Amino acid sequence: MTHAGIALLLALLVSPGLVAQEKEAFSHERFTALQAQDAVILVDVFADWCPTCAQQQRVLAAFQEAHPDVPLHILTVDFDTRKDLVTHFEAPRQSTLILYRGEERVWFSVAETRQAQIFEQLLGALERR
């Protein structure tokens, strides 16, 4: 491969439009700011030891890979260390997914791992714009 070909490939790989949205730890400030922007926000209550959560992570990664330009913001809540947020969001256990469109909660799910269902809910929230 030529130097120009390598440069083009690297440019495509790091192009902002092609990079999936990174997850970030939940903070009230960030959540409030995203809600004010009418953003689509997925609050992901997870635990590192949870096999259902691991499956959800694979589904979310597949969504981000299939839809790299979708403005989805994933805010993570560690079930074991952030009990204050677990209580705030009324998450009955780890593997809880809570989807917001701005200030409106549009979906609440526990232990959902079916890719079609998760994709449908995420895309549906985006279509509400």
For 33, the 3-state DSSP assignment is helix
- Please write the tens of the pLDDT for every residue from 98-109: 999 999 999 999
pLDDT at 122: 96
- Please write the tens of the pLDDT for every residue from 9-35: 333 333 333 333 679 999 999 999 999
CATH 3.40.47.10 describes domain 20-127: no
pLDDT at 15: 37
Query: Which spans in the chain are helix H?
Result: 3-14, 28-36, 51-66, 83-88, 115-127
- Please write the tens of the pLDDT for every residue from 52-94: 999 999 999 999 999 999 999 999 999 999 999 999 999 999 9
pTM of the model: 0.83
pLDDT at 7: 37
Summarize the chain as % helix, strand, coil (round to 5): 45, 25, 30
Is the pLDDT reported for residue 5 higher than 70?
no
